[in-house]
Structure 1
Amino acid sequence: MATIVVTGGSSGVGLAAAKQFAARGDEVVLVGRDPRRLAAAVAQVKAAGGGEPAHFRADFERLDEVRALADGLLAAFPRIDVLANNAGGMVGDFRRTVDGFEATVQGNHLAPFLLTSLLRERLRGARVVNTASRAHAQGRPDPGDLTGDARTYNAWRAYGASKAANILFTAEAARRWPDVFSVSFHPGVVRTNFGTGRVTRLFYKYAPFLVTPEKAGELLVWLATAPEADVVNGGYYMGHKLTAPAPHARDAALAATLWDASAKAVGR
Structure 2
Amino acid sequence: MVVTGGSSGVGLAAAKQFAARGDEVVLVGRDPGRLAAAVEQVRAAGGSDPAHFRADFENLEEVRSLAGHLLDGYPRIDVLANNAGGMVGEFRRTPDGFEATVQGNHLAPFLLTSLLRDRLRGARVVNTASRAHQQGSPDPAALAGDPAAYSSWRAYGAGKAANILFTAEAARRWPDVFSVSFHPGVVRTNFGAGAVTRFFYKYAPFLVTPEKAGELLVWLATAPEAELVNGGYYVGHKVTAPAPHARDADLAARLWDASAAAVGR
| TM superposition shift of 1:81 | 0.0
| TM superposition shift of 1:114 | 0.0
1:139 aligns with 2:136: yes
1:197 aligns with 2:194: yes
Alpha-carbon distance between aligned partners in 2 of 1:246 and 1:265, rounded to the nearest angstrom: 25
Residue deviations 1:1-49, cap 9 Å, x none?
A: xxx0000000000000000000000000000000000000000000000
Residue in 1 aligned with 2:203? 206
Residue deviations 1:148-199, cap 9 Å, x none?
A: 0111000000000000000000000000000000000000000000001001
Alpha-carbon distance between aligned partners in 1 of 2:73 and 2:48, rounded to the nearest angstrom: 16
Q: Which amino acid is 2:204 matched to?
A: A
Alpha-carbon distance between aligned partners in 2 of 1:140 and 1:202, rounded to the nearest angstrom: 26
Residue in 2 aligned with 1:251? 248
Alpha-carbon distance between aligned partners in 1 of 2:159 and 2:199, rounded to the nearest angstrom: 23
Q: Which structure 1 residue ranges, 4+ long, deviate > 6 Å from structure 2?
A: none
Residue in 2 aligned with 1:57? 54
Aligned to 1:151, the other structure's residue is in SS state helix
| TM superposition shift of 1:202 | 0.5
Residue deviations 1:232-258, cap 9 Å, x none?
A: 000000000000000000000000000
Residue in 1 aligned with 2:6? 9
Residue in 1 aligned with 2:35? 38
Alpha-carbon distance between aligned partners in 2 of 1:95 and 1:206, rounded to the nearest angstrom: 28
Question: What is the aligned residue count?
Answer: 265
Aligned to 1:183, the other structure's residue is in SS state strand
Normalising by structure 1, we get a TM-score of: 0.99
Unpaired runs of 5+ residues, structure 2, are none
Residue in 1 aligned with 2:177? 180
Identity of paired residues, percent? 86
Aligned to 1:101, the other structure's residue is in SS state coil
Where does 1:61-210 land on structure 2 (aligned, <5 Å)?
A: 61-210=58-207
Unpaired runs of 5+ residues, structure 1, are none
1:25 aligns with 2:11: no
Alpha-carbon distance between aligned partners in 2 of 1:148 and 1:242, rounded to the nearest angstrom: 31
Alpha-carbon distance between aligned partners in 1 of 2:170 and 2:108, rounded to the nearest angstrom: 15
Residue deviations 1:193-216, cap 9 Å, x none?
A: 000100100000000000000000
| TM superposition shift of 1:85 | 0.1
CA RMSD of aligned residues (A): 0.2
Alpha-carbon distance between aligned partners in 2 of 1:78 and 1:24, rounded to the nearest angstrom: 21
Residue deviations 1:40-86, cap 9 Å, x none?
A: 00000000000100000000000000000000000011110000000
Alpha-carbon distance between aligned partners in 1 of 2:194 and 2:137, rounded to the nearest angstrom: 23
Aligned to 2:217, the other structure's residue is in SS state helix
Alpha-carbon distance between aligned partners in 2 of 1:161 and 1:79, rounded to the nearest angstrom: 32
Residue deviations 1:81-108, cap 9 Å, x none?
A: 0000000000000000000000000000
